[in-house]
Homo-oligomer: A and B are copies of this chain.
C-alpha cells in the first residue's frame, strides 16, 4: 500500500497559521488562528469585525482613511459562516457564500452611512481575477472563455462597481477600460498626494478621476496588459484582444488546475471582443493585419518599461 497513516497525518499538519496582522517592517502576529473548518468558516465575520473597528475608530477620530477590505470567500472551498448555510435559493456553499459577502458589504456601507461619510468616500467593489470554474459546483461562473489562472477573458474580466454619493450619478453603465492599477493612481489623486510619488519608480496605473467623476467621463486607458508571472501574454486595445501567448485548457472546466501556457507561432491571435466576446474565432490577419503592428508597438513600449524599471523580487515568483 502506498499510504500509511503517519504520512497522511504529516501532510495534514501542514496548515496555514490563520489571519496575519502586521505593519510594514513592524511586528507580525497571528490575529486569528485557523485550525478547523469551523474556524475557517468564520473568517469573513472576523474580517468584517476588523474593518468595522478600523472604520469606526478612524472616522470618529476625524482622520482620512484608505481601506482595502478583502473577502476570503468566494474562493474555494467555500465554507459559509453557520448562519448562512442553506440561505441561498440553490443552497450550495458558493451561493451561500455570495450572500454572506453581500451582507457584509451592506453592513460596511451602512456603517459609512451611519457615520455620515458617504458623501466624501469613494467606494469601489471589484475583484482581482475572474472566477475559478475548476471546482464546480463550488465555484463562480461566467460566460467567458478560460477562468482564473488564464489571460482569457474568463481570467481577467471582472465586474467593477463604483459609488460616491452625490459625486457619481447612480445607474450608469460604462465600457471604458479600467485596470486595477488605476485604483491606486486615482486614489492618490483624490487623496491629494500625487506629487509625493517618487521619481525613480514607474507606475502602471492611470489617474482615472475624470473618468469616474465627470459627466460622460471617458477612460484615459487605451490598453490593458495581461501577464502570467513573468510572461507577457496578451493585451486589450479598442475592441481587440491580442494574444502573444495562450492558455490551452486540457480538461474542460479545469483552467487553473489543468491548463498549459503555450507559445504562439508566427502571428499573434486576434479576437474582436465586440463581435466575439467568448474569444472563439480568431479574426487573424484577415480582419486586422493593419492593427497588429500597432498592438505590437504597445507591447514593445510596455515591455520597455519593464526593462527600464525592472520588477523588484519580493519573493512571489518561482
Contacts and interface: CB of A to CB of B under 8 A. Distances in A.
A61 interface: no
Nearest to A263: B261
Contact of A256 (B238, B240, B263, B267): B267
Contacts of A123: none
Contact of A266 (B77, B228, B262, B283): B228
A121 to B, nearest CB: 30
A77 B8 CA distance: 23
Contact of A89 (B4, B132, B255, B260): B4
Given A3-B239, A252-B251, A277-B141, A8 B91 contact: yes
B275 A239 contact: no
Contact of A92 (B258, B275, B278): B275
A228 B284 contact: no
Interface string A106-147: 000000000000000000000000001111110001010000
A2 interface: yes
Interface string A78-96: 0000000000011110010
A266 to B, nearest CB: 4
Contacts of A318: 244, 296, 299-300
Nearest to A276: B136
Interface stretch (A23-31, A162-170, A188-196, A285-293): A285-293
A214 interface: no
A90 B134 contact: no
A76 B248 CA distance: 27
A259 interface: yes
Contact of A11 (B258, B267, B291): B291
A257 B269 contact: yes
A13 B241 CA distance: 18
B265 A260 contact: yes
B265 A5 contact: no
A143 B141 contact: no
A16 interface: yes
A282 B260 contact: no
B291 A175 contact: no
A36 interface: no
Given A238-B7, A254-B282, A272 B137 contact: yes
Given A3-B89, A137-B276, A253-B281, 14 more contacts: A8-B239, A11-B238, A11-B240, A14-B290, A77-B286, A89-B274, A136-B275, A137-B281, A141-B278, A228-B265, A248-B260, A251-B252, A256-B265, A256-B284
9 contacts: A7-B239, A14-B294, A15-B290, A92-B275, A136-B275, A137-B276, A248-B250, A253-B280, A253-B281
Interface of A: 1-5, 7-8, 10-11, 14-16, 76-77, 89-92, 95, 132-137, 141, 143, 149-150, 175, 228-229, 238-240, 244, 246-248, 250-267, 269, 272-278, 280-287, 290-291, 294, 296, 299-300, 318
